[in-house]
Amino acid sequence: MPVMREVRSTRGAFIDFAPEATSLEIRGFGLRYGDKPALNDLTLRVPRHRVTAFIGPSGCGKSTLLRALNRLHDLNEEVVQAGEIRLEGQDIHAPEVAVAELRRRVGMVFQAPNPFPMSIYDNVAFGLRLQGGLRKRRRDDIVEWALRSAALWDEVKDRLRASAWSLSGGQQQRLVIARTLAVGPEVLLLDEPASALDPISTLKVEELIRNLKASLTLVLVTHNMQQAARVSDYTAFLQDGELVEYAPTDTLFTNPRLARTENYITGRMA
């Protein structure tokens, strides 16, 4: 497990991972839309090669925070940000950081599957072609590897030239994950990745998440607390744009330190 220590404050217990075990570090981060605050003074470290879940009521800022991790707010002129987000020790807003390269390193999968209107193969190869410089044989190998990594290869290997839209919803979501994996990210951000899927497809995505942490850092936003309990190693509870409590998932769900956390996970608050 990552080297960590518990830090207590008036707001509860938090986890401080050692720098060498940290993938993402958020330091005093705040974000507002014009005059409307969305996130306030968030500080936490996300451990490498683990699954970290963000939970909290609707509108608490968890998806806003997730999108900030690969600068998806950049084009919104109303957004004002403060503090720092660091990837492997480097400030992601530093002038020398290329946004396209950041988004390769920090991939994003959204709530609804969004395959491109092209073949299964071309979806996975899309980012590889943009990068250029790969021979077809090497590109074929990476496409197969990505589809295998997303637990989809056996289901599509005989119809790679079929439209991605011919796949089921669950298959489309795994295809999008394969497309993201193909370009070699270090971090995978997942925003409610199974909320639009049937129970069987949800279980496949959850199994995939558990398997991927051997090679990736994963950050998951979910409204489904059972899902967070099943797949995550650490859980951060957000409310009203603030970090309330951050702990190993088993600890947070069975022995939370704060009444606010307990009220949320037991359903006594919305």
The full set of domain ranges for the chain reads 5-266
Longest pairwise C-alpha distance within the chain:
58
Tokens matching residue 134: 């790969």
- What homologous superfamily does CATH list for 5-266? P-loop containing nucleotide triphosphate hydrolases (3.40.50.300)
Query: Which residues of the chain form beta strands (DSSP E)?
Result: 4-9, 12-17, 22-33, 36-47, 51-55, 79-87, 90-91, 106-109, 187-191, 217-221, 234-239, 242-248
Beta bridge partners of 27: 84
Instruction: Write down the pLDDT at residue 19.
Output: 75
Q: Which of 4, 21, 68 is nearest to 40 (CA)?
A: 68
Rounded to 10 degrees, the C-alpha dihedral 86/91/93/98 comes to -100
Tokens linked to 130: 């943009």
Do 246 and 234 form a contact (C-beta atoms < 8 A)? yes
Which two tokens mark 55? Answer: 């939970």
pLDDT of residue 268: 78
**For the whole model, what pTM was predicted?**
0.91
pLDDT below 50 — which residues of the chain?
Answer: 1, 7-13
In terms of C-beta density within 10 A (0-12 exposed, 13-18 middle, 19 or more buried), how is residue 252 classed? buried
Which residue in 187, 205, 221, 197 sits closest to 50, CA to CA? Answer: 187
- State CA 95 to chain mean position distance: 24
Which pLDDT does position 5 carry in this prediction? 52
**Cα 264 to chain centroid, rounded:** 22
Distance CA 156, CA 153 (A): 5
User: How many Å apart are CA 84 and CA 99, to the nearest integer?
Assistant: 15
Distance, CA of 43 to CA of 84 (rounded, Å) = 9
